[in-house]
Amino acid sequence: MKREEPKTAIDYDRLMRENLSRVFNEPDTAKRLQAIQEIYAEDATLYEPSDSLAQGHLAINEAVDALRLSLPAGFAFTPMGPADGHHGVGKLRWRGGPTNGPTNGQTNGPVAMSGVDVAHIVNGRIQALYVFLDPAGDSSGCFY
């Protein structure tokens, strides 16, 4: 059996955290679209828990815009520890809630939701992002 070494190391933590901060926490649609173009493959797909999906940079930007419009002002998503991954698949646990003042985009109020993002990464960019929400009332961070 031949063991293959990865061609290029993927910085799962950097990529997944940038996605959370520069895409899901960015209120400016133009800045967000620029970040999406840098972070996501051109034909990337965002799979949301509601069984809906968005394919391509513009559609992903529109989906994130719709999500942000459904949340109260000052709402932010914060990583719960570092992201990790292997074989081109990364995961990042996160929580979301109010920032309650200047916190550099970090949640410091009560946790309103939590979940995990799972990304398939190809050539250093997100090819597919699957968003999983924890059941209501469960922000324990369990992921199996």
The predicted pLDDT at position 143 comes to 36
Please state, in angstroms and as integers, the Cα–Cα distance from residue 91 to each residue in 46, 53, 72, 73, 97, following that order. 14, 18, 26, 27, 20
The predicted pLDDT at position 47 comes to 98
Q: Domain residue spans in the chain?
A: 12-133
Please state, in angstroms and as integers, the Cα–Cα distance from residue 62 to each residue in 10, 66, 67, 69, 91, following that order. 27, 6, 9, 10, 23
The domain 12-133: what is its CATH number? 3.10.450.50
Task: Compute mean pLDDT per 10 residues along the chain, 144 residues long, and list them.
Answer: 68 97 97 98 95 96 96 92 97 90 55 94 98 76 37
Residue whose C-alpha is closest to residue 15's, from 114, 83, 64: 83
pLDDT tens for residues 69-89? 999 988 999 999 999 999 999
| pTM across the whole model | 0.85
Which sign does the torsion angle of CA 82, 55, 111, 138 carry?
negative
